[in-house]
Chain A
């Protein structure tokens, strides 16, 4: 049932307003900024939970004549975004002030940090509730603009370079998707079925997908995939991703890998799927791009010495699984893709936060300079190990379930080669992450490194509790969702049906 509601508006207005407040308060204490962020995001999470309850009862929430539209897929993305936003804000409470303490403009930097973090989440939530194809582009581009100065937060050579590449490549990339979306709009506007209807709405466009000229659909889909694929970090549009994820502050890296690239995948799910059932070529095209992403991403991850770069390349690989599942266009494929999207958000955030904790305490991100940290940071070591096994797709953790679903989905649609590539990538991922865990936490400590924090505490390291809590929460989620995947089944099932509804509307 379609219900008019204010909730889908509140879900993006609350963080946006809090972000503007944070940006305007330039000289206040970091604790106040942190409190505004956590309080604003808790409020937003409550709204997201209310939306989820409504959609699980079979309702779709709309506002402004269907331009704002929240269904199961929107609810899933908002829950993930808000949940991750809160954990990142809590982690940042003690992490970020330490890293800018030596700067004269530290209060302004903190204001910018929390303000942009909230603005990003506001724009991301807006992306997830918009039903208008051009606003999808506008808000998705706004998420890039909001995060650009978060990537360059340290304002040093490497972060400036990473931010410049991020902004340039993603902004230019996303313009391609605007071209694609406008082609679809122009192709649909003259159809008799669209007379008197709002042609910009995804729900309306999905009804006339097969009636739009074949050459236009192919060109538009290629442009949309290139544009949103650049945002998602799909190969070959991924050049920005390793630099941006590695040079941003650790909590922002967690957000970039956990949420930002998923927004690109979400946009693909909302648009390309309109045409998938009519044109099998689109399915194969998506599967080829996704498989390339999986293999190239993990091969690049294997040769990295920097932990964060390794994690970033692994994200290129993992987003391949998500896009491939979406491209299959079957219930199993989409369900697996959304489950994997959720699991990767949790696990990659966990891994980035643990990597941030390691760099915070040791002053280095190079695995060749690390070793034996399990003695100093046992909780972080356990969290990283859980994340490493999970991302490798081993039982009993959450990503085993989602990867297995995707393997089954690939076999189910007859793309056996895609299933084999996915399994092969999974094996390489296990090798890559277990080797990294062993190098960082086990073995003999490298003599070249004498962590200042370790030395100062007589060999004992105590991470602030505000940094430990997010890691522990994410590790618990990783285990619980692996053992009880049924907990999230109703929401995943609902979100999957939302995409299938778009697919079937055009059949």
Chain B
């Protein structure tokens, strides 16, 4: 574990990563939310690079670089472009009000972190995965994944839905790095390519929906329920 003057760098990065995830999910200003996603993804890249140092695994540096390229640059750029096209910078009122939502997401993250960390043997398949730092990282990954699900369920704005989707993907990838850091580069590349295409398609669809229907509210997509 790299330590700088007694401070656990990896633990700090994880806390910063989690805080950025919470901010990205709760900010009502879409542009700021997209920028928070940039910060969140940057911390993810830093965590991956730190793992590269801790486990002496240079392939993780490439993975960290690809994370910067895809999640810090490409996906937020697509989101910011979409916000510019629509000119809508404030999120449509979500299903849960701001204060209640902040309380709920903080509670969700704290409770799930405790739960996953305490009962890690359910999600950690090996002894090594039950030891630090994998233990905390896995619990964190599942928390961010769950936070992404929470955003997907409670938000109506298409941009926030994409933010939720990216959070969910980032949680899954953090777990992937923790459990399978030695995955071949081609496999990692395949996973990353899928994420970019999926996010691009979602944003293209959101633009199509906005141009065809003039809405960015996913709740208004209910014609097929009738």
Contacts and interface: CB of A to CB of B under 8 A. Distances in A.
A5 interface: no
Contacts of A138: 187, 190-191, 193-194
B107 interface: no
Contacts of B205: 148, 152, 160, 163-164, 167
Interface in A129-169: 132, 134-135, 137-139, 141-142, 145, 148-149, 152, 155-158, 160-165, 167-168
Interface string B202-225: 100110110011000010011110
Contact of B212 (A137, A160, A200): A160
Contacts of B224: 158, 161-162, 165, 243, 246-247
B201 A148 contact: yes
B179 interface: yes
Interface in B166-221: 168-169, 172, 175-176, 179-180, 182-184, 187, 190-191, 193-194, 197-198, 201-202, 205-206, 208-209, 212-213, 218, 221
B78 to A, nearest CB: 15
A141 B223 contact: no
A380 interface: no
B194 A145 contact: yes
B96 to A, nearest CB: 19
A135 B166 CA distance: 20
Contacts, number: 116
B56 interface: no
A164 B198 CA distance: 11
Nearest to A220: B125
Contact of B183 (A134, A141, A163): A134
B121 to A, nearest CB: 7
A167 B212 contact: no
A21 B224 CA distance: 35
Nearest to A138: B190
Does more than half of chain A's interface fall in helix, strand or loop, or is it mixed?
Answer: helix
A178 interface: yes
B169 A175 contact: yes
Contact of A219 (B122, B127, B176, B179): B122
B190 A134 contact: yes
Interface in B24-60: none
A446 interface: no
B221 A161 contact: yes
Interface string A230-251: 0000000000000100110000
Contact of B172 (A135, A139, A156, A175): A175
A160 B209 contact: yes
Contacts of A31: none
Interface string A31-58: 0000000000000000000000000000
B129 interface: yes
Nearest to B222: A161
Contacts of A155: 208, 212
A329 to B, nearest CB: 23
B190 A135 contact: yes
A190 B172 CA distance: 21
Interface stretch (A181-189, A264-272, A468-476): A181-189
B168 A157 contact: no
A2 interface: no
A161 B152 CA distance: 16
Interface of A: 132, 134-135, 137-139, 141-142, 145, 148-149, 152, 155-158, 160-165, 167-168, 171-172, 175, 178-179, 182-187, 189-190, 200, 212-213, 215-216, 219, 243, 246-247
Given A132-B187, A200-B184, 11 more contacts: A138-B187, A139-B190, A160-B221, A161-B223, A164-B202, A164-B206, A186-B125, A186-B129, A187-B125, A213-B125, A216-B125
9 contacts: A134-B190, A138-B187, A152-B205, A160-B209, A161-B223, A167-B202, A179-B175, A186-B179, A215-B122
